[in-house]
Amino acid sequence: MRYAIVLGAAALVAASPAPQAFDLNGLDALATLTQGPPVGVGPAQETAYVQGSARAQAAAAATGAATAQAAKRSLNESVTSTTSTSTVAPTTTSAAVGTQTTKAPSTTDGVVPSSCTPVDWVNTYAFTSDPACPTSIEVGTYCGFINPDDPCAPQPAGKGTPPKDDTVDGFYNNAEYKQLAVSAKTPTGYQQAFVNLQGAATGNGYISYKTLDSYDVASCSQFCDDTDTCTGFNVYIERDPKWNPHQCSCTNPPSIINYKCSIWGQNVSKDTATNTGEGRDDFTVVITGSNGYNKGTYTPPTPPSCSKPQSCDNKIHDQPRYCMGQKTFPGPFDPSLCAAYAQKQNEVNRAKGLIGAFLSMFGMNKGGCVQFQAAYLEKAGKGFGTHCRLFTKKFTPQQATFDISIGGTSGWGCQKSYTWDVDVNASFNWGLSWKN
């Protein structure tokens, strides 16, 4: 199947003076769990997570003034509640476009047989001129290359060698592919989550992908290390068609073999390896040699004007009397979204005169966020999104005691959770330029 990532802020509870308890029931309306790399080879920007745009959307979630119900007790007091009467109003935004990480397609070495021709197809693509090309080119193509979406069009050349038995069974039973997977060395700093599966990772935590010149686990780990939101990766082998069989008289072409590397802001596990390919007319795309790895230790980055993170393991602060807002952002684990949301909320509240500087220093003003929590939620073992909670009081990690996986059959869980203290006077002005 082909995937399209959805970025957006889904409001769990409207920010207001009402108590803001964690709402498990509200999450179910937000579940979208089918993100991942596209089948075949295409520009990575069509599906990639775009952090700058996501930060801007997170800041925009602070649409009005918000306060906590109470911030007048002693600093050592803790109020705990796990009930909620709030309602849910989920929202959806359009897909974002990011930076391409794959090379421009090139045609395969072989030639499509002349007997393979488009069937009942009219070219409706527009044409344009490009100074880099000698003639007008079709929109969506690369200068000098055929549009891979056209019927019978040669597909980007794979780097692997197809099996002699060029069938699905021949692909699955290829001893060389299995050996590549089972003999792969786990990179330093990572733990192997699964090996030699026949499915690739899926989930909302998808970040991006690229094709590899070989089954190169080390190269894929470097791709993950170079991406600050990446906590795990998946390397696999994919059987793709040599030309596009759709609306082509030759509907079952020979195969090409692609080595793929996808990176994730979620835990990759056997439960996430559910992309087993798809049918493309009479050709069957399938996957094998799928290995998954997660970082052994992970410390999230520190956004501007925030303290270093404190780990709450997989627990959540459910402090409704001191919670001035909560939002969930489907996608990879990205605490910078919570920082943007918190700082923008404080900026809005300052403009409304709702923040008292003296009280905010002690975390006692109901109109100032002095600490936020970023927790990464999962549904049925798959990554879902970053859950943000804004507090008017500072809490210790030991006070995070709410385990959302206990007490029900909802399938929700929390993979990781951190808090950051935030400067109540800081504004969100770093979203597109900040680099870790």
Q: Which residues are CB-contacts of 303 (< 8 A; sequence separation ≥ 6)?
A: 335, 336, 339, 340, 420, 430, 434
Backbone angles phi, psi at 12, to 5 degrees: -80, -40
Residue 132 has pLDDT above 70, yes or no: no
Element (H, E) at 333: none
Residue 11 has pLDDT above 50, yes or no: no
Tell me what pLDDT residue 411 has: 85
Return the top range by mean pLDDT from 13-17, 19-23, 247-251, 409-413. Answer: 247-251
250, 243 Cβ separation under 8 angstroms: yes
Per the listing, tokens 């045609």 go with 107
Per the listing, tokens 């005691």 go with 401
What separation in angstroms does the CA of 321 have from each of 17, 183, 391? Answer: 9, 53, 9
First to last CA, the chain: 34
Per the listing, tokens 């939101």 go with 229
Element (H, E) at 400: none
Spatial distance between the Cα atoms of 288 and 43, rounded to a whole number of angstroms: 22
Backbone angles phi, psi at 397, to 5 degrees: -55, -30
Which one-letter DSSP state was computed for residue 140? Answer: T
Spatial distance between the Cα atoms of 49 and 39, rounded to a whole number of angstroms: 17
Please choose, from the candidates 244, 228, 162, 240, the residue with its C-alpha nearest in 3D space to the C-alpha of residue 200: 240
229, 177 Cβ separation under 8 angstroms: no
Mean pLDDT of all residues in 102-118 = 62
Tell me what pLDDT residue 23 has: 75
Q: When comparing pLDDT for 262 and 34, which is higher? A: 262
Banded pLDDT at 234 (limits 50, 70, 90): very high
Beta strand ranges found along 349-408 (DSSP E): 371-379, 382-391
Angle ∠(106,202,176) on CA atoms, nearest 5: 60
Spatial distance between the Cα atoms of 385 and 9, rounded to a whole number of angstroms: 10
Tell me what pLDDT residue 41 has: 78
Banded pLDDT at 4 (limits 50, 70, 90): very low
Tell me what pLDDT residue 356 has: 67
Element (H, E) at 52: helix 51-60
> How crowded is residue 85: how many other Cβ atoms within 10 Å of its Cβ?
9
Amino acid sitting at position 229? T
Angle ∠(33,39,44) on CA atoms, nearest 5: 85
**3-state DSSP call for residue 90?**
coil
Tell me what pLDDT residue 10 has: 40
Question: Of 5-9, 148-152, 290-294, where does mean pLDDT reach its minimum?
Answer: 5-9
The neighbouring-strand residues paired with 389 are 326, 373
Q: Are strands 323-330 and 10-13 parallel, antiparallel or unpaired?
A: antiparallel
Backbone angles phi, psi at 217, to 5 degrees: -65, -40
Q: What is the pLDDT of residues 137-169, one digit of tens each?
A: 555 555 555 677 788 888 888 899 999 999 999
